[in-house]
Amino acid sequence: MISYLGRRAATYFLVFVTALSVNFFLPRAIPGNPIEELSSGVGNLPVQLDPQTLKALRRHYGLDLPISVQFYNYIKGLACGDLGWSISYRAPVGGILVERFPWTLLLTLSALLLSFSAALFLGTHSGWKKRREWRVLVPAVCLESMPPFVLGSLLLILLSVKIPIFPLSGAYSPFSEFTGFGKVLDLAYHAALPVLVLAASSFFSAYLVVRSSVLLVTDEPYVLMAEIKGLPERRVRYHYVLRNALLPVVTFFGLRLAYSAGGAILVEVLFAYPGIGRLSYEAVLSHDYPLLQGAFLAFTLWVLLINFCTDCLYVNLDPRVKEV
């Protein structure tokens, strides 16, 4: 087991080192630069800047240095835990990411828990009965094939404009004085639509994985033996079938969780939700190199960490992996 996890950790380390280079060069491949955005008035500054000021800004942010020197300073800063200074927000990138990350975490975890809870219940029931639940399959296929941005727009028009049940945007009520449970309800009220959109986009695939895995396990001899012994159906279904069908489900859940942050970008932009996804979108528009590097690095660490945790969990669930 240790050798297996050691090889996986070494692989992830190589991926991380490669990602550091991509995080640095990819933002600079985008046409334009942050100083041009400031000079055109697109940034937070309301006035255009004269050439002398622009030159001073390039020198201040190190953009006048050779690209190799900029890359060295970038790696040196990362080694010291310094992610740089945001040009558009004029604040430390690390502090901005720490402030925005919990919002993205709230959306993604809530959506995946909702979708996988429903998928586990319905997929186990469908696989155990060995029948196709068309009442589940047809709506799920429609929701899965619909881009989250389109589904979110439809829900906004229907439930926020036509029937004003939910708020149009934001993560909480501005100028509110909610405390305790009232604040929790306010956060849940604003997160309801974004969570629903993200959950709908991942439910169908999770449902199929659970159903297929349960169908395979129900034909195993130990399940038949449990039924012959006269064990209660509920115990056979959940203790013998679902428990042994969780291996591919756990792997799939880890993959969805790892890449869910990227899928949340469009949803956060649509609902004006203050997460890292919307922050990345704003950084792209303003060509904020340090902020883009920090956001990409956060996404990279998120994916690698979730994948490694999935590997560790898989080893404990499947003893055969320990022998590899």
Identity of the residue numbered 96: I
| Whole-angstrom distance, CA of residue 109 vs CA of residue 229 | 40
277-304 exposure pattern, b = at least 16 Cβ within 10 A, e = fewer: bbbbebbeebbbbbbbbbbbbbbbebbb
For residue 175, report the phi and psi dihedrals to the nearest 5 degrees: 60, 20
Q: Which two tokens stand for residue 256?
A: 């969805």
DSSP result, 34-58:
HHHHHHTT-SS-SS---HHHHHHHH
> Top-level CATH class of 93-323?
mainly alpha
Tell me the per-residue pLDDT of 17-74, one tens digit each, with 9 for 90 and over. Answer: 898 888 888 888 887 778 777 666 544 545 566 778 878 888 888 888 888 898 999 9
Domain boundaries, the chain: 93-323
What is the full per-residue pLDDT of the chain (324 aa) written as tens digits?
667 778 888 888 898 989 888 888 888 888 777 877 766 654 454 556 677 887 888 888 888 888 889 899 999 988 888 888 888 888 999 999 999 999 999 999 999 899 989 888 888 888 877 766 677 777 777 777 788 888 888 988 998 888 888 888 888 888 777 777 888 888 899 899 999 988 888 888 888 888 888 888 888 888 888 878 888 888 888 788 887 888 888 888 888 887 777 778 889 999 999 999 899 998 888 888 899 999 999 888 888 888 888 878 777 766 665 555
Percent of the residues in the chain that have a pLDDT greater than 90, as a whole number: 11
Helices (H) and strands (E) in the chain, counts: 13, 0
Q: Is 92 helix (H, G, I), strand (E, B) or coil?
A: strand
User: Which of 191, 153, 155, 158 has the alpha carbon at shortest distance from 173?
Assistant: 191
| Whole-angstrom distance, CA of residue 311 vs CA of residue 59 | 45
**pLDDT computed for residue 42 by the predictor:** 46
DSSP state for residue 85 in the 8-state scheme: B
266, 86, 73, 28 alpha-carbon torsion, rounded to 10°: 50
Whole-model pTM: value is 0.82
Percent of the residues in the chain that have a pLDDT greater than 70, as a whole number: 91
Q: What are the residues whose beta carbons fall under 8 Å from the beta carbon of 215, sequence distance 6 or more?
A: 127, 130
| Whole-angstrom distance, CA of residue 225 vs CA of residue 220 | 9
**pLDDT computed for residue 133 by the predictor:** 66
Q: Locate tokens 């986009």: which residue?
A: 201
| Count of all residues that appear for the chain in the document | 324
